Structure 1
Protein backbone atom coordinates (compact mmCIF):
# COMPACT_ATOMS: atom_id res chain seq x y z
CA UNK A 1 0.00 0.00 0.00
CA UNK A 2 2.79 2.41 0.76
CA UNK A 3 4.05 2.08 -2.81
CA UNK A 4 0.66 3.16 -4.15
CA UNK A 5 0.50 6.02 -1.65
CA UNK A 6 3.99 7.15 -2.63
CA UNK A 7 3.10 7.08 -6.34
CA UNK A 8 -0.14 8.91 -5.60
CA UNK A 9 1.69 11.61 -3.60
CA UNK A 10 4.35 12.08 -6.28
CA UNK A 11 1.68 12.32 -8.96
CA UNK A 12 -0.20 14.92 -6.92
CA UNK A 13 3.01 16.89 -6.43
CA UNK A 14 3.75 16.75 -10.15
CA UNK A 15 0.24 17.99 -10.98
CA UNK A 16 0.58 20.83 -8.45
CA UNK A 17 3.97 21.85 -9.82
CA UNK A 18 2.59 21.75 -13.37
CA UNK A 19 -0.32 24.00 -12.37
CA UNK A 20 2.06 26.48 -10.72
CA UNK A 21 4.29 26.46 -13.80
CA UNK A 22 1.34 27.15 -16.11
CA UNK A 23 0.11 29.97 -13.83
CA UNK A 24 3.55 31.60 -13.64
CA UNK A 25 4.03 31.29 -17.40
CA UNK A 26 0.63 32.86 -17.96
CA UNK A 27 1.51 35.74 -15.62
CA UNK A 28 4.83 36.23 -17.40
CA UNK A 29 3.19 36.47 -20.83
CA UNK A 30 0.57 38.89 -19.52
CA UNK A 31 3.33 41.13 -18.17
CA UNK A 32 5.33 40.81 -21.41
CA UNK A 33 2.24 41.72 -23.45
CA UNK A 34 1.59 44.71 -21.18
CA UNK A 35 5.20 45.86 -21.58
CA UNK A 36 5.05 45.56 -25.37
CA UNK A 37 1.70 47.36 -25.61
CA UNK A 38 2.81 50.23 -23.41
CA UNK A 39 6.12 50.48 -25.24
CA UNK A 40 4.36 50.56 -28.62
CA UNK A 41 1.77 53.09 -27.46
CA UNK A 42 4.49 55.28 -25.98
CA UNK A 43 6.48 55.11 -29.23
CA UNK A 44 3.43 55.99 -31.34
CA UNK A 45 2.47 58.87 -29.05
CA UNK A 46 5.98 60.33 -29.15
CA UNK A 47 6.13 59.97 -32.93
CA UNK A 48 2.74 61.69 -33.32
CA UNK A 49 3.75 64.63 -31.12
CA UNK A 50 7.23 65.00 -32.61
CA UNK A 51 5.90 64.49 -36.14
CA UNK A 52 3.21 67.11 -35.58
CA UNK A 53 5.72 69.71 -34.47
CA UNK A 54 8.07 68.86 -37.34
CA UNK A 55 5.16 69.19 -39.76
CA UNK A 56 4.21 72.60 -38.35
CA UNK A 57 7.85 73.70 -38.51
CA UNK A 58 8.08 72.62 -42.16
CA UNK A 59 4.91 74.54 -42.99
CA UNK A 60 6.22 77.73 -41.39
CA UNK A 61 9.61 77.29 -43.04
CA UNK A 62 8.02 76.71 -46.45
CA UNK A 63 5.79 79.78 -46.15
CA UNK A 64 8.58 82.01 -44.88
CA UNK A 65 10.94 80.65 -47.55
CA UNK A 66 8.35 81.35 -50.23
CA UNK A 67 7.87 84.91 -48.97
CA UNK A 68 11.63 85.55 -48.80
CA UNK A 69 12.19 84.04 -52.25
CA UNK A 70 9.24 86.04 -53.55
CA UNK A 71 10.78 89.26 -52.29
CA UNK A 72 14.07 88.31 -53.92
CA UNK A 73 12.50 87.33 -57.26
CA UNK A 74 9.77 90.00 -57.13
CA UNK A 75 7.20 87.26 -57.74
CA UNK A 76 5.39 85.46 -54.93
CA UNK A 77 3.76 83.09 -57.43
CA UNK A 78 7.09 81.95 -58.84
CA UNK A 79 8.55 81.49 -55.37
CA UNK A 80 5.56 79.35 -54.30
CA UNK A 81 6.03 77.20 -57.40
CA UNK A 82 9.74 76.77 -56.64
CA UNK A 83 9.08 75.83 -52.99
CA UNK A 84 6.26 73.46 -54.02
CA UNK A 85 8.50 71.83 -56.62
CA UNK A 86 11.26 71.38 -54.05
CA UNK A 87 8.81 69.73 -51.66
CA UNK A 88 7.59 67.45 -54.45
CA UNK A 89 11.18 66.39 -55.20
CA UNK A 90 11.75 65.63 -51.52
CA UNK A 91 8.49 63.64 -51.45
CA UNK A 92 9.54 61.62 -54.49
CA UNK A 93 12.91 60.94 -52.86
CA UNK A 94 11.17 59.55 -49.77
CA UNK A 95 8.83 57.54 -52.00
CA UNK A 96 11.72 55.85 -53.79
CA UNK A 97 13.56 55.22 -50.50
CA UNK A 98 10.49 53.87 -48.68
CA UNK A 99 11.68 50.24 -48.62
CA UNK A 100 15.01 51.18 -47.01
CA UNK A 101 13.14 53.34 -44.50
CA UNK A 102 10.84 50.39 -43.71
CA UNK A 103 13.84 48.13 -43.13
CA UNK A 104 15.39 50.62 -40.72
CA UNK A 105 12.14 50.99 -38.78
CA UNK A 106 11.60 47.23 -38.63
CA UNK A 107 15.14 46.67 -37.33
CA UNK A 108 14.72 49.26 -34.59
CA UNK A 109 11.30 48.01 -33.50
CA UNK A 110 12.42 44.36 -33.64
CA UNK A 111 15.38 45.20 -31.44
CA UNK A 112 13.02 46.69 -28.84
CA UNK A 113 10.39 43.96 -29.21
CA UNK A 114 12.63 40.91 -28.96
CA UNK A 115 14.89 42.16 -26.13
Structure 2
Protein backbone atom coordinates (compact mmCIF):
# COMPACT_ATOMS: atom_id res chain seq x y z
CA UNK A 1 0.00 0.00 0.00
CA UNK A 2 2.79 2.39 0.82
CA UNK A 3 4.34 1.99 -2.62
CA UNK A 4 0.99 2.62 -4.31
CA UNK A 5 0.38 5.75 -2.19
CA UNK A 6 3.90 6.98 -2.95
CA UNK A 7 3.39 6.52 -6.70
CA UNK A 8 0.01 8.27 -6.56
CA UNK A 9 1.52 11.15 -4.60
CA UNK A 10 4.43 11.40 -7.05
CA UNK A 11 2.03 11.40 -10.01
CA UNK A 12 -0.01 14.20 -8.43
CA UNK A 13 3.13 16.27 -7.86
CA UNK A 14 4.33 15.66 -11.41
CA UNK A 15 0.94 16.68 -12.75
CA UNK A 16 0.96 19.87 -10.66
CA UNK A 17 4.49 20.75 -11.78
CA UNK A 18 3.68 20.11 -15.43
CA UNK A 19 0.46 22.15 -15.23
CA UNK A 20 2.36 25.02 -13.60
CA UNK A 21 5.08 24.77 -16.27
CA UNK A 22 2.48 24.78 -19.06
CA UNK A 23 0.64 27.76 -17.56
CA UNK A 24 3.89 29.71 -17.04
CA UNK A 25 5.08 28.91 -20.57
CA UNK A 26 1.72 29.93 -21.99
CA UNK A 27 1.83 33.27 -20.16
CA UNK A 28 5.44 33.86 -21.24
CA UNK A 29 4.72 33.22 -24.92
CA UNK A 30 1.57 35.30 -24.75
CA UNK A 31 3.60 38.23 -23.40
CA UNK A 32 6.38 37.60 -25.92
CA UNK A 33 3.93 37.66 -28.83
CA UNK A 34 2.37 40.86 -27.45
CA UNK A 35 5.82 42.45 -27.21
CA UNK A 36 6.73 41.44 -30.76
CA UNK A 37 3.40 42.68 -32.15
CA UNK A 38 3.63 46.04 -30.41
CA UNK A 39 7.23 46.46 -31.52
CA UNK A 40 6.33 45.56 -35.11
CA UNK A 41 3.28 47.83 -35.21
CA UNK A 42 5.33 50.61 -33.66
CA UNK A 43 7.99 50.28 -36.34
CA UNK A 44 5.37 50.22 -39.11
CA UNK A 45 3.50 53.22 -37.68
CA UNK A 46 6.67 55.28 -37.23
CA UNK A 47 7.86 54.36 -40.72
CA UNK A 48 4.55 55.35 -42.31
CA UNK A 49 4.34 58.58 -40.30
CA UNK A 50 7.91 59.69 -40.97
CA UNK A 51 7.71 58.52 -44.58
CA UNK A 52 4.53 60.52 -45.15
CA UNK A 53 6.12 63.67 -43.79
CA UNK A 54 9.20 63.03 -45.91
CA UNK A 55 7.11 62.57 -49.05
CA UNK A 56 5.24 65.82 -48.40
CA UNK A 57 8.52 67.66 -47.82
CA UNK A 58 10.13 66.19 -50.92
CA UNK A 59 7.07 67.10 -52.98
CA UNK A 60 7.31 70.75 -51.98
CA UNK A 61 11.07 70.75 -52.52
CA UNK A 62 10.63 69.22 -55.98
CA UNK A 63 8.02 71.82 -56.92
CA UNK A 64 10.23 74.63 -55.65
CA UNK A 65 13.22 73.20 -57.53
CA UNK A 66 11.16 72.90 -60.70
CA UNK A 67 10.07 76.53 -60.43
CA UNK A 68 13.64 77.61 -59.71
CA UNK A 69 15.05 75.74 -62.70
CA UNK A 70 12.15 76.92 -64.87
CA UNK A 71 12.70 80.54 -63.87
CA UNK A 72 16.42 80.34 -64.63
CA UNK A 73 15.70 78.75 -68.02
CA UNK A 74 12.84 81.10 -68.78
CA UNK A 75 10.40 78.22 -69.24
CA UNK A 76 8.65 76.58 -66.29
CA UNK A 77 7.72 73.52 -68.34
CA UNK A 78 11.38 72.68 -68.89
CA UNK A 79 12.04 73.02 -65.17
CA UNK A 80 9.30 70.53 -64.37
CA UNK A 81 10.54 68.17 -67.09
CA UNK A 82 14.07 68.26 -65.69
CA UNK A 83 12.88 67.57 -62.12
CA UNK A 84 10.53 64.83 -63.39
CA UNK A 85 13.39 63.27 -65.35
CA UNK A 86 15.53 63.32 -62.22
CA UNK A 87 12.83 61.40 -60.34
CA UNK A 88 12.58 58.88 -63.19
CA UNK A 89 16.35 58.31 -63.02
CA UNK A 90 16.16 57.88 -59.22
CA UNK A 91 13.28 55.41 -59.70
CA UNK A 92 15.32 53.36 -62.18
CA UNK A 93 18.26 53.26 -59.76
CA UNK A 94 15.94 52.21 -56.92
CA UNK A 95 14.45 49.50 -59.14
CA UNK A 96 17.92 48.16 -59.91
CA UNK A 97 18.82 48.12 -56.20
CA UNK A 98 15.52 46.56 -55.02
CA UNK A 99 17.09 43.23 -53.99
CA UNK A 100 19.67 44.98 -51.84
CA UNK A 101 16.95 47.09 -50.23
CA UNK A 102 14.84 43.98 -49.53
CA UNK A 103 17.78 42.19 -47.94
CA UNK A 104 18.54 45.25 -45.81
CA UNK A 105 14.93 45.53 -44.63
CA UNK A 106 14.69 41.82 -43.82
CA UNK A 107 17.95 41.85 -41.86
CA UNK A 108 16.94 44.93 -39.84
CA UNK A 109 13.46 43.63 -39.08
CA UNK A 110 14.75 40.17 -38.18
CA UNK A 111 17.14 41.74 -35.66
CA UNK A 112 14.21 43.55 -34.01
CA UNK A 113 11.83 40.63 -34.22
CA UNK A 114 14.04 37.79 -33.05
CA UNK A 115 15.89 39.62 -30.25
The structure showing larger relative contact order (alpha-carbon pairs under 8 Å, at least 6 residues apart) is 2
**Which TM-score bucket, shorter chain as reference?**
over 0.9
Listed as ranges, the matches of 1:1-115 within 5 Å are 1-115=1-115
Q: State the 1:29 CA deviation.
A: 0.7
Equivalent position SS for 2:90: helix
Extract unaligned runs of 5+ from structure 2: none
Structural RMSD (CA): 0.6
Q: TM (normalized to structure 1)?
A: 0.98
Q: Which runs of 4+ in 1 moved over 4 A?
A: none
Spell out, residue by residue over 1:16-54, the C-alpha distance to the aligned partner (whole angstroms, 9 max, x if none): 101111111110110011001100110011001100110
Extract unaligned runs of 5+ from structure 1: none
Q: What CA distance in whole angstroms lies between the structure 2 residues aligned with 1:91 and 1:28?
A: 45
